């Protein structure tokens, strides 16, 4: 069972509070770190693209034009690849955790609580509904949004979704009355007929162990 976070990929994930995220349709999420104080020109603030499908498949694309880096992570559980698209090199690992389910917490880091690890890219709104949260209406940046909050201890997960499209716009993690992490969604789409080639190593990358 593996997870990714905004800056790190391929980290172990604790057990979730609910059944877990396994999108029946492929989800394509373009997001960026919008945490106050993060330099907009930094690598951390550059948009990232995540594809998720069912329990096994994921693809994370990261690029930083200023530093001329392009990274790709592919999960085709139990196989995991981290790929440098500039040098055309890869690192392959096999997920030894059982069951081999891919996990992608929005805010989770190593050692995070199950509460944080359960809030995943691709299933944000489902998490709120699973926790029986009643949305409130708010106007943010001239947009009418439905807003949700779930609290455990001193941690609160906040989610704002487009009222009409029901797609995430902003997610935030609050400790007490302080906002410590913010994710801004650039695009959020579901795809009925996924291109499964997305979850294979690109042909121009030489695979060291011979497994495609």
pLDDT tens-place string over residues 147-200:
999 999 999 999 999 999 999 999 999 998 899 999 999 999 999 999 999 999
What the block records as the tokens of 51 is 């594809």
Rounded to 5 degrees, what are φ and ψ at 85? -80, -15
Count of C-beta atoms within a 10 Å radius of residue 97: 13
Q: What band does 113 get if pLDDT is binned at 50, 70 and 90?
A: confident
Can you read off the two tokens belonging to residue 37?
Answer: 């104080």
Per-residue pLDDT at 28 exceeds 90: yes
First-to-final CA distance of the chain: 21
Residue 170 contacts residue 179 (beta carbons within 8 Å): no
67: its two tokens: 């530093």
| Cis status of the peptide bond prior to 173, with omega within 30 of 0 | no
Helix runs in the chain, H state only? 114-117, 124-130
pTM for the full model?
Answer: 0.86
Place of tokens 């294979």: 200
């Amino acid at each position: 069972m593996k997870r990714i976070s905004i800056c790190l990929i391929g980290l172990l994930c604790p057990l979730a509070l609910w059944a877990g995220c396994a999108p029946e349709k492929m989800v394509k999420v373009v997001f960026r770190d919008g945490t106050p104080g993060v330099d907009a020109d930094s690598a951390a603030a550059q948009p990232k693209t995540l594809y998720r499908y069912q329990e096994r498949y994921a693809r994370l694309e990261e690029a930083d034009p200023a530093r001329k880096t392009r990274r790709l992570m592919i999960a085709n559980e139990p196989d995991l690849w981290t790929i440098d698209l500039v040098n055309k090199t890869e690192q392959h690992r096999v997920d030894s955790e059982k069951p081999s389910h891919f996990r992608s917490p929005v805010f989770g880091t190593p050692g995070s609580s199950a509460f944080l690890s359960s809030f995943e890219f691709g299933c944000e709104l489902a998490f709120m509904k699973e926790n029986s949260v009643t949305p409130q209406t708010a106007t943010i940046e001239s947009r009418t949004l439905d807003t949700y909050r779930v609290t455990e201890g001193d941690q609160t997960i906040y989610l704002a979704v487009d009222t009409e499209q029901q797609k995430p716009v902003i997610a935030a993690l609050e400790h007490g009355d302080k906002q410590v992490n913010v994710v801004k969604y650039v695009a959020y789409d579901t795809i009925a007929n996924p291109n499964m080639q997305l979850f294979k190593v690109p042909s121009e990358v030489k695979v060291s162990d011979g497994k495609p």
